[in-house]
Amino acid sequence: MQIQILLLLPMAFLLPPGAQAGKIIGGQVAKPHSRPYMAYLKRKTCEGEATCGGFLVREDFVLTAAHCADGDITVLLGAHNVHQDEETQQRVSVQRKIPHPRYNKTSHENDLMLLQLAEPAELTDAISTIPLPQAGRTVDPGSVCSVAGWGKTKRHAMRTSSKLHEVELEVMSDETCQEDRLLQHYYKPPKMMCVGDPAEDKASFSGDSGGPLVCDRTAQGIVSLGKSDGSPPRVFTKVSAYIPWIKKTMRGSQRPRVPR
Ligand SMILES: *[C@@H]1O[C@H](CO)[C@@H](O)[C@H](O)[C@H]1NC(C)=O
């Protein structure tokens, strides 16, 4: 088994045997538009199309994982079924990709990225922002949070799902990831969260990369990495460790002047 970042590889057959491209495992279809902050990122890379999740944190900024940076990204907001033209949907191009300056591809540290939208989203019932946690405000182990995404929902599925899926996951102690034979090489407690009870068959997976871990209506984590068989626990970027960088970066970027 190996570590895999949770982006959906464009060609599933490139995955090693026994590994699968990602998804929400063990969850259910979300109530349409119940998570209006969700963003679907369509990425055109040289190998083909890939997808990631993300979430709206200001009308002109989406937060996602830095490992989702490759390619030409289009953001779809207000979607439930991403393969249908829904009235609620707004498609926005990305003006600027701002990966965390200390994102490390090898160690997977600081796996977060802000996407400045070319024009602000028009906030509606189906499109709104999600609050960020206060700096340093962490979530206690044992808390139950949820994650959503358009990744695959079955381990052997060849395609991502059209409809948004969600699953509840328990926040685990740092030791749970530090004692895991594979994750221990990557897990850095002050900046990562260990999520998902190893005894349960519930997890975020590849196509879910960049999506939010929502605890108490706050975006506390970002889907980052996990074992390639999709088993819990999974590692999330700890958003509360990056509040100063997120705020400073958004403040430094003028809002687009012409609203739609
Ligand atoms: C990235 O992480 C690897 C593995 O931990 C380390 O060897 C390397 O020095 C890091 N790179 C930077 C630029 O910090």
Q: Is 253 a catalytic residue?
A: no
- The arithmetic mean of pLDDT across residues 160-165, rounded, is 87
197 Cα–ligand 1 center, Å: 29
Burial class (CB in 10 A: 0-12, 13-18, 19+), 54: buried
Instruction: Evaluate: CB of 107 within 6 angstroms of ligand 1.
Output: yes
**How much is the pTM?**
0.88
- Asked whether the predicted pLDDT for residue 8 surpasses 60, the reply is no
Q: Measured in whole angstroms, how far is the alpha carbon of residue 82 from the centre of its chain? A: 16
Least confident window among 34-43, 193-202, 214-223: 193-202
Q: What is the pLDDT of residue 19?
A: 29
For ligand 1, the distance from its centroid to the CA atom of residue 107, given in whole angstroms, is: 6
Percent of the chain scored above 90 by pLDDT?
A: 72
Nearest in space to 4 (alpha carbons), one of 23, 25, 19: 19
Compute the average pLDDT of residues 165-192: 95
> How much is the pLDDT for 147?
94
Ligand 1 centroid from CA 227, angstroms: 20
For ligand 1, say whether the CB of 134 is within 6 Å of any of its atoms. no
Q: With 50 as the cut, is the pLDDT of residue 252 above it?
A: yes
* Nearest C-alpha neighbor of 205 from the set 166, 152, 157, 145: 152
Of the candidate ranges 7-21, 144-158, 205-219, the one whose mean pLDDT is the lowest: 7-21
Model confidence over 105-129: pLDDT tens digits? 999 999 999 999 999 999 999 999 9
Q: Considering only CA atoms, which residue is closest to atom 13 of ligand 1?
A: 104
Residue 104 beta carbon below 6 angstroms from any ligand 1 atom? yes
Question: What's residue 18's pLDDT?
Answer: 28
- Residue 22 pLDDT > 80, yes or no? no
User: Is residue 201 flagged as an active site residue?
Assistant: no
pLDDT attached to residue 158: 59
Could you tell me which residue, 197 or 49, shows the higher pLDDT? 197
Take residue 259 and report the two structure tokens written for it: 């609203």
Q: Are strands 218-227 and 90-99 parallel, antiparallel or unpaired?
A: unpaired
Among residues 161, 204, 206, 209, the one annotated as catalytic is: 209
Amino acid at 120: P
Atom 4 of ligand 1: nearest residue by CA position: 107
252 exposure class (CB count in 10 Å sphere: 0-12, 13-18, 19+): exposed
What is the per-residue pLDDT for 257? 57
pLDDT of residue 9: 39
Residue 48: what pLDDT?
83
The yes-or-no answer on residue 209 being catalytic is yes
Q: 26 vs 57, which has greater pLDDT?
A: 57
| Cα 44 versus chain centre, distance | 18
Q: What is the pLDDT of residues 151-160, one digit of tens each?
A: 876 666 656 7
Over range 223-237, report the average pLDDT. Answer: 90
Tell me what pLDDT residue 33 has.
97
- CA–centroid distance, 102 to ligand 1, in Å, is 10
- Give the mutation target among 3, 106, 111, 185 for probing the ligand 1 site: most ligand atoms within 8 A of CB: 106
Q: Is 254 in the pocket of ligand 1 (CB under 6 A)?
A: no
One-letter identity of residue 144: V
